[in-house]
Amino acid sequence: MSRLLAALLILFVCCLSVAAAAGNDGEAVYKARCAVCHGKDGVPKSFAKGAPAFNDEAWKKGASTAEIEKMVAEGGKRMPSFRNKLTEEEIKAVAAYLKTL
């Protein structure tokens, strides 16, 4: 019986940590999915032409969170769509994170 309990406990802890890793951490999502084109600090790499610098105050003021979420879900001319790669929560979290760069 105690073995079963221990196994359950291990399973529980594993699930928790997986959920935490995939959770609403906008920074983690950004670094894993966006930084490759948009740069860690929000300044786009030269091949990501047309992308604004996310750390530019003027851009932050002009872009609404709703617009950012739409762009991330649908993608753009060169930017891929993330609708099938990220959950709605992750898209919200990463959109909010852009405003903190």
Among 39, 43, 52, 96, binds ligand HEC (CB under 6 A): 52
Integer Cα distance of 28 and 43 in angstroms: 17
User: What letter would DSSP give residue 19?
Assistant: H
Among 11, 14, 36, 74, binds ligand HEC (CB under 6 A): 36
Q: Which is nearer to ligand HEC, 22 or 79 (CB)?
A: 79
Site membership for ligand HEC, residue 37 (CB under 6 A): yes
CA distances from 2 to 6, 10, 42, 66, 68 (A): 6, 12, 51, 50, 50
Tell me the per-residue interface mask from 53 to 82 with ligand HEC, x by CB under 6 A, - otherwise.
----------x----x--xx---xxxxx-x
